[in-house]
């Protein structure tokens, strides 16, 4: 995994002095009385946490892959609900296909559906269309962020509270 950091010039290691010559008239561009600065830090300042163990992808890329597969699941549910009311035969075919194929990998599911038959190909196209439309238009991205932050905060608070109660041997009022 490659990563790049952009640093302001003030944080780069001090290599060349750009100074106005004081007394060296023979070499006007050679810094006289040059003393390398030692006060500048060569340490990189990064605002993000390093997450080890994710190999080729960032945690965000892994989450995006899970969401991609989840959108396929949602699209299958939407298409199944639509078919159940107006095309029971296609609904039955979709349900039979679901019994034989896993929805864990959304792309593999659609690829398998494409190769099943021409009727299944049409279902796969419909599922991909719904998946894209749901992701672009209906999924509430802001709500996802808000709920994820809320769940983490509440879970951390609950776990810390439970631990303190467990280790402090405090009797709770009943």
Overall domain count for the chain: 1
In a domain, 47, yes or no: no
Report if residue 14 sits inside a domain.
no
Q: What's the CATH code of the domain at 78?
A: 1.10.1200.210
Cβ-count burial 89-124 (b if 16+ within 10 Å, e if not): ebbebbeebeeeeeeeebeebbebbbeeeeebeebb
Q: How far apart are CA 124 and CA 110, in angstroms?
A: 5
Residue 133 is assigned to a structural domain of this protein: yes
Whether residue 101 lies inside any domain: the answer is yes
Residue 70 lies in a domain: yes
Q: Is the pTM of this model over 0.75?
A: no
62-103, pLDDT tens digit by residue?
899 999 999 999 999 999 999 999 999 999 999 999 999 999
Lowest mean pLDDT among 45-49, 75-79, 165-169: 45-49
Domain assignment present for 43: no
Q: Which domain holds residue 120?
A: 59-138
Residue 96 lies in a domain: yes
Q: Is the pLDDT of residue 37 over 90?
A: no
Residue 35 lies in a domain: no
The whole-angstrom separation of Cα 76 and Cα 94 is 9
Residues 33-56 have a mean pLDDT of 61
């Amino acid at each position: 995994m490659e990563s790049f950091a952009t640093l302001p010039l003030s944080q780069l290691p001090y290599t060349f002095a750009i100074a106005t010559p004081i007394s060296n008239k023979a070499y006007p561009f050679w810094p006289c009385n040059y003393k390398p600065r030692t006060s500048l830090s060569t340490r990189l300042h990064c605002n993000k946490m390093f997450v080890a163990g994710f190999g080729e992808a960032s945690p965000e890329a892994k989450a995006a892959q899970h969401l991609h597969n989840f959108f396929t699941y949602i699209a299958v549910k939407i298409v199944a609900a639509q078919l159940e009311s107006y095309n029971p035969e296609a609904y039955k075919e979709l349900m039979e296909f679901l019994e034989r194929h896993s929805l864990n990998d959304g792309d593999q599911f659609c690829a398998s559906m494409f190769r099943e038959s021409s009727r299944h190909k049409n279902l796969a196209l419909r599922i991909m269309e719904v998946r894209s439309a749901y992701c672009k238009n209906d999924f509430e991205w802001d709500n996802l962020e808000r709920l994820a932050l809320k769940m983490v905060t509440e879970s951390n608070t609950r776990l810390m509270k439970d631990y303190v109660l467990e280790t402090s041997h405090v009797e709770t009022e009943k």
